[in-house]
Amino acid sequence: MDKLRVFIAVPIPAEIRRGLAGLEKRLMAAGADIKWVSEENLHITLKFLGYVEPDRMDAICRAVESAAEGTAAFEAALSGVGAFPKVSRPSVVWAGTSAGGEELKALAEKVEGALESIGFAREDRPFSAHITIGRVKSPKNRDALREMIERLREEDMGSFSVESVAVMRSDLRPTGPMYTAIANHKLQIPD
């Protein structure tokens, strides 16, 4: 059986995704060569596992469930646009967090620990809470993109309650990736 391309993510509510899609449209005015993330695929990645044997999925789901257990739901607020590795030389355009970043980092660390216990290597880079909204394909109109990102550095994109963690499957297609939730694990909702 073919391996599955898997990642662990925090789902984002539809109204926030709509707002981010509107932000993408504004950034498109720069005329840069960017592959934009489709509205339905917007999420916060906690860990990318890559290609995984299907018989490991039960263990992965149990590990993520154990990371979610005992973690209280929390509020996250999205604010500001930026780029990796840096705005002057962007390869990834992202929306950042202005609240909930520490909680997302703690959740990502719990996911890392749970998955490490079943044989997945830890990430080399420190966790940075963000939503990838586009991937830069070439330097075309890079300066216009940089100026647009600078103007949107403080842009408020709303807030939402982080209430679950999902184990996601990514199927790569010519039209772009299609993401499917394999499992969705609820965080604890305070009384």
Q: Active-site positions?
A: 43, 130
Partners of 103 in beta bridges: none
CA distances from 81 to 48, 49, 150 (A): 22, 26, 8
What single letter denotes the amino acid at residue 79?
S
Instruction: Retrieve residue 48's tokens.
Output: 């990318």
Rounded to 5 degrees, what angle do the CA atoms 38, 123, 163 make? 55
Yes or no: say if 73 and 190 are a contact pair by the CB < 8 Å rule.
yes
Question: What is the layout of strands, in order, in the sheet containing 4-11?
Answer: 43-52, 4-11, 164-171, 178-186
Backbone torsions φ then ψ of 173, nearest 5 degrees: -130, 160
Rounded CA separation 19/77 (Å): 13
**Using an 8 Å Cβ cutoff, are 12 and 42 in contact?**
yes
* 3-state SS class at 65: helix
- Classify the C-alpha dihedral 131-136-142-145 as positive or negative: negative
